[in-house]
Amino acid sequence: MKIGLYGINVGPCAQPAAAAKVARAAEAAGLESLWTAEHVVLPDPQAPPSPVPPTTPLLDPAVALAFLAAHTERVRLATGIIILPQRNPVVLAKELASVDVLSGGRLIAGFGVGYLEPEFAAIGAPFAGRAERMDECLDVLRALWTQQHPRHDGASFRFAGVDAYPRPVQKPHPPIVIGANTPPAFRRAVARANGWYGFAMDLAATARCLAGLGEAARRVERPASLGRLELTVTPPPGLPDADTVARYAELGVERLVLLPLVRTGDELVDFVRRAGDALV
């Protein structure tokens, strides 16, 4: 089981010294990956389904991971997730390729469709049709990362006669992970991604999602070039015991991204060290 850490750009890790200290501790403890969260803006006042108060500090994922690339050598750096329909994918392709280059090929590119309508409105991105826009954004990223002469002619984005270097270090591109627990997300992961990510899921919820992925696999074709779908889950907050980790593994989960319950950078460093001792 690969062990990752969630929230490397949130809360105490929104401070550079704390983020660097936690990242170095995670690498020393043998953790496999560091994962960011994303919300560009949050509703104020907080109201469901907004996940956190509007004053929660959240660094931009690409900026945070580029910073952490300079403070680490081996640990993988993951966006978990970027809300793709809110982004200009041409600009994002450049940003994420830059992270992959600066990190020496350690990026995992996780994306989701988003669910907070006030956030879309503030950014100026349409909330309706965001699933279709996400699929087109994935096409744009792949075109700019892999095509010798990138071109795209879609509903929202069109280009030809342009190029963008440097390309990502990883070939054909950094692994793409789709996060969410809905049937459309399952189908998108099977048809278009290298991995699937489920957030804050206990064993029962994970089993239901894996059944959904299995149903999607029976309905949509998976390109052979994508290989096996890698399964990543963030379990409920805290440090799971070895038996719980083994039960996730029995379901087919290959990576657990831990969600700590801490308030300070020092507490987070202690959590990382305990996770390494217990699970790595």
Which of 61, 57, 108, 103 is CA-nearest to residue 83?
61
Residue 263 has pLDDT above 90, yes or no: no
Residue 37 has pLDDT above 90, yes or no: yes
SS3 for 99? helix
Q: How many independent structural domains does the chain possess?
A: 1
pTM for the structure as a whole? 0.97
Mean pLDDT of 122-147: 97
Which of 104, 107, 25, 17 is CA-nearest to residue 61?
107
The model's pLDDT over 199-220, given as tens digits with 9 standing for 90+, comes to: 999 999 999 999 999 999 999 9
Residue with tokens 């206990």: 202
Q: For residue 223, count other CB atoms closer than 10 A to its CB.
A: 9
Long-range contacts of 206-212 (CB under 8 A, 24+ apart): 206/233, 206/248, 206/251, 206/253, 207/251, 209/181, 210/251, 210/252, 212/181, 212/183, 212/186
The model's pLDDT over 100-133, given as tens digits with 9 standing for 90+, comes to: 999 999 999 999 999 999 999 999 999 999 999 9
CATH of residue 254's domain is 3.20.20.30
- H-helix or E-strand spanning residue 2: strand 2-6
Residue with tokens 């956190």: 52
Measured CA to CA, the distance from residue 33 to residue 201 in angstroms comes to: 18
256: region left, alpha or beta (phi > 0 left; psi from -120 to 50 alpha) = beta
Q: What is the pLDDT of residue 148?
A: 96
Residues spanned by the domain of 78: 2-279
- Which residues does 50 contact at the CB level (< 8 Å), separation at least 6? 42, 43, 116
Q: To the nearest whole percent, how much of the chain has pLDDT over 70?
A: 100
Integer angstrom CA distances of residue 141 from 33, 193, 203: 22, 12, 33
Q: What is the pLDDT of residue 272?
A: 97
**Phi/psi of residue 128, nearest 5 degrees:** -65, 140
Mean pLDDT of 135-139: 98
Radius of gyration of the chain (CA): 18
Q: Are 196 and 186 in contact (CB under 8 A)?
A: yes
SS3 for 104? coil
